[in-house]
Structure 1
């Protein structure tokens, strides 16, 4: 693999020279937040939405805003340029920093500066992902995450376990269920389609306020599709005409099976397909 240039606390470095303290609270406490921004045609997709959500995550955790925050667009663009990314992703992580020692109490923000790390992932063919032509299979699992899923923190252990549960069951991903209703996928928002109506969980602390979700719902409404933001059950999903997920890295991805039951015809539906087309077309136009 080609050696990437990454960003660590103000410096652009070869990835093998990037170092973080063992006392960093992201490492010790999962005391950090992150964002993933897609790159198409060498341009950043939905960057403003990611930047705004990042600021909100920091505020919700009472984490200081790092000095680089107003210049994040330039940092993203420089990493795209240095690594020659045409299609792929940029991962950004901010932690509360590395105090002199481990302690549950937050360190003094005057004495401990946040840690800021960014790196690229080169993914040629991201937009033309062949999986979108056949769709994915999901299983349902109990949602055992903490209650503030609206904050995009780096504590991703349970979603990782969920991905492994899906893999063990011969599926591609898992939808998490709480109090009988679907919250979201392990790293994506979940949707079903009944007739011309798109149904997805309403915003709250129970789910991540997806940036791709917001864009897709806006495009759906502009295309005269009905949108209902409410919770739904796995049983209702299995009876739906279509199902799909959205995320920054999958865009719009059809779901063709849930817990072994085929959704609709068991092939990707027309609404999910159309939304994927619209999202990619509009995002490419608006990329910066």
Structure 2
């Protein structure tokens, strides 16, 4: 097991659950910094790639949403590829991911990535052991080439305890708002906890390189994990406040005889007034 992961496990119970108000206040401050980062990335033409991997229900989607909800989707671009087509299955494995790497002025976030081969594909039998070994052998050099091309690459693994994973999956089963989050693969994977642990350990041993290390976030407390990851991301991408002109709204034009038309607009009914 990675020493980094062991360290997070040793402290997993030291922090109390984060209160919602404290979380929202801190997240609001971080959103301001993420906007500054966005402006700096565009201003300097930086290329940033962020990979999110982890256990099922570990909170990857919620973390990505927390990062992106106040920034431009044209700068912060989320990539979540579906299952490969028959044509893509015949390609070099990593080929379908490469076109999504960032150009200048972009931050690309992979919601799962080429590391599918080291995780779900390996555990669930979608690739052979030989294919996995070959992938683990070559991916560090691929990532070195990506970094040498000028990309800032960050890799995050979200780790959740088996008890919390069970609680979250049961919540998905019993909450109509969360049914869409429960895939047949989640159910099949649930019983393979230790197969996934072994696959994770092999992945870390082979790909936790000095140029592209793995950063592990304990995510039993999802709110605290999101804040920790955003802080870490901001610390690892050098940025400043980009120069910008002071904004002053111009004077609005005179109506010059314009009147609202006498037209039967189909307004949305005011139902929200009855709430609360």
**Structure richer in helix, relative to its length:** 2
Greater gyration radius: 2
**Structure richer in strand, relative to its length:** 1
Task: Please give the TM-score of this superposition, normalised by the length of structure 2.
Answer: 0.24
Task: Please give the TM-score of this superposition, normalised by the length of structure 1.
Answer: 0.23
